[in-house]
Amino acid sequence: MRIALVNPPVPAGRFTNRDLMGGMGIDDDFGVGLGPRFVALLKNEGTRLPIISLAFAAAILRDHDVVVLDQSRLDPHDPEALDAIVRARPDWVVAASSFAFLGAELRYLERVKAATGARRLLLNQAATFFSDDILRRGMAEVIPRGDPEVVLGHLAKGTLKPGLPGVLMLDDDGTPAPAMSGYIDDLDTLPEPRWDAFPIADYGYFPLLKKRPFLTMLSSRGCPYQCHYCPYPVAQGAPFRPRGAGLVADEMERLVSRFGVRSVLFRDPTFSLDMKRVKDLCQMVIDRRIPLEWGIETRLDRMDEPMIELLGRAGCRSAEFGVDPIDEHTRQASHRKGIKPARAAELIRVMERNNIATAGLFVVGVPEQSDDEMMRTLDWVETLDISYMNYEVATPFPGTELYTQAVRAGWTKPITLDDLLDGDPKLSFNGVIDLARMKTLQDRALSRFYLRPRKIAREIFNTDFVENVRFMSTSGLKFVRAGFKA
């Protein structure tokens, strides 16, 4: 079969990384003020992630004629986008989806179907949540439920049929066939992602990981913590499913030898859940002298000083983690297992001392938190020796407990596929926290953290001074040109 693996276009002037938020993807166009908008531009210019599920797909489908088309920086109406797929003459199109732009993605794939006749397999959790409507309307032929490699394995072997675990399709009577979730218990049985057809030179994760070529890796799936706003447990399940440390180290070595990769971001929801496994991996990387810088996402309560020291010696150069509100009742309402502020501050200091740039992730506008409570947390954040903060507006992603809570309480209406086909999803907590208010809170948080003279000086005058000046100057010119065009 001829198969096109596609990271679809995004509407003009918008940005997304579909690999984030458990496959829901996020709309990276945050901020309405001048300062936050510039921060957003810097983030989007420096951050471009490949879709790791498409790289797994390339490995699973290696016996077929596969072409990779990363079109995420094109507009859906750019003729070159559709022409590239037509030239590939695919029998199947395997495409990533996102919550923020699902409507635009489905409309684009309708044009793909009309131009090529190819059948469409949609990856990522956004498509899974709306699968019944998508299938009924003929906007895709197959959607995974659970790990995408399960349905991809059936595609590779020609065994796709309705009702299989992990496979969502229409039954013979034209109705969606019920199917259990399909998960791979032993991730060590997966093939290594195949990157040779991807535009590796285009990917990067500036400023956390500045060396290129850059790629992503997966060393585990699943998260048992199940914070009420997080879509990762919805997409990957609660059980923690790790790969063996030895296989992970082997893959790191091969990325260096085959592709010259110099930095890697691990896409695990909670990288250091099994702390012994992480320490074993670090020691292997040190012993083998693997020349790679890498970043992780994890929880502060799954870190300690000996592990942080090993991480630094093994080349870990960035760590992202949730920053808990300092008010206990907000943490409990969000199902966050908190860590005492003093302990969090100490772990952050230890990471920075070990050359690991720290990046806090904070959710702005959860219904349980008042403005005063959020301001107290922001005041505390400014006392931390932390490199970066990412303030995301609270979004009741479909499938999460927060979404169920918001619908049940009447804070938002149930989201439908028509809402997405008509434009951007507008999820708000009506009567509690509306979208405009959350954006204002986000602006205030971004401005307070990033527009401090001390922070600006730290970003420019560090060990990567030349690279930082070049990147910020280039991005600044784009920002000014975009302003004049607007």
The CATH number for 433's domain is: 3.80.30.20
Q: Does one domain contain both 134 and 237?
A: no
Asked if pLDDT for residue 154 goes beyond 80, the answer is: yes
Residue 148 and residue 37: Cα distance in Å, rounded? 35
CA distance 378 to 446: 10
Strand stretches in 286-347, DSSP E: 293-298, 316-322
Mean pLDDT score, 89-99: 96
Q: Is 183 within a domain? A: no
Whether residues 347 and 228 share a domain: the answer is yes
Question: Is residue 424 domain-resident?
Answer: yes
The pair of structure tokens assigned to 422 is 């008509």
Q: What is the pLDDT of residue 7?
A: 97
Burial of 484: CB neighbours in 10 Å, binned 0-12, 13-18, 19+: exposed
Residues 14 and 70 in one domain: yes
Q: Are 153 and 137 in contact (CB under 8 A)?
A: no
Phi/psi-derived region of residue 410, left when phi > 0, alpha when psi is between -120 and 50, beta in every other case: left
Same-domain check for residues 160 and 226: no
By three-state DSSP, how is residue 70 classified? strand
Q: Inform me whether the pLDDT recorded for 149 exceeds 80.
A: yes
Q: For residues 209 and 280, state if they share a domain.
A: yes
Whether 237 and 340 map to the same domain: the answer is yes
Q: For residue 139, is it within any domain?
A: yes
Whether residue 469 is contained in a domain is answered as yes
Indicate if 212 and 107 belong to the same structural domain.
no
Query: Which pTM value belongs to this model?
Result: 0.90
Decide if 209 is inside a domain.
Answer: yes
Confidence category of residue 431, pLDDT binned at 50, 70, 90: very low
Specify whether 200 is located in the same domain as 121.
no
Tens of pLDDT, residue by residue over 131-143, are: 999 999 999 999 9
Q: According to the model, what pLDDT value does residue 349 have?
A: 97
pLDDT score of 458 more than 70: no
pLDDT at 13: 74
CATH number at residue 77: 3.40.50.280
Residue 472: partners with Cβ closer than 8 Å, 6 or more residues away: 42, 459, 460
pLDDT at residue number 480: 47
Residues 348 and 444 in one domain: yes
pLDDT in tens, 272-328: 999 999 999 999 999 999 999 999 999 999 999 999 999 999 999 999 999 988 877
Across the strands, what pairs with 123?
96
Residues 410, 466: one domain?
yes
333: confidence class by pLDDT, cuts 50, 70, 90:
low
DSSP H stretches of helix in 94-130: 102-116, 125-129
Q: How high is the pLDDT of residue 484? A: 52
- Say yes or no: 353 and 222 in one domain: yes
138 and 255: one domain? no
443 domain-assigned: yes
- The domain in which residue 118 lies consists of 2-34+48-145+148-168
Task: Kindly state whether residue 185 falls inside one of the protein's structural domains.
Answer: no
Rounded Cα distance between 121 and 125, Å, is 13
H-run or E-run covering 7 = strand 2-7
pLDDT at 275: 97
- 175 in any annotated domain: no
Q: Please state, for a pLDDT cut of 90, what percent of the chain lies above it.
A: 60
Number of structural domains (the chain) is 2
Neighbouring CB atoms inside 10 A of 254's CB total 13
Query: What would the mean pLDDT of 441-446 be, rounded to a whole number?
Result: 80
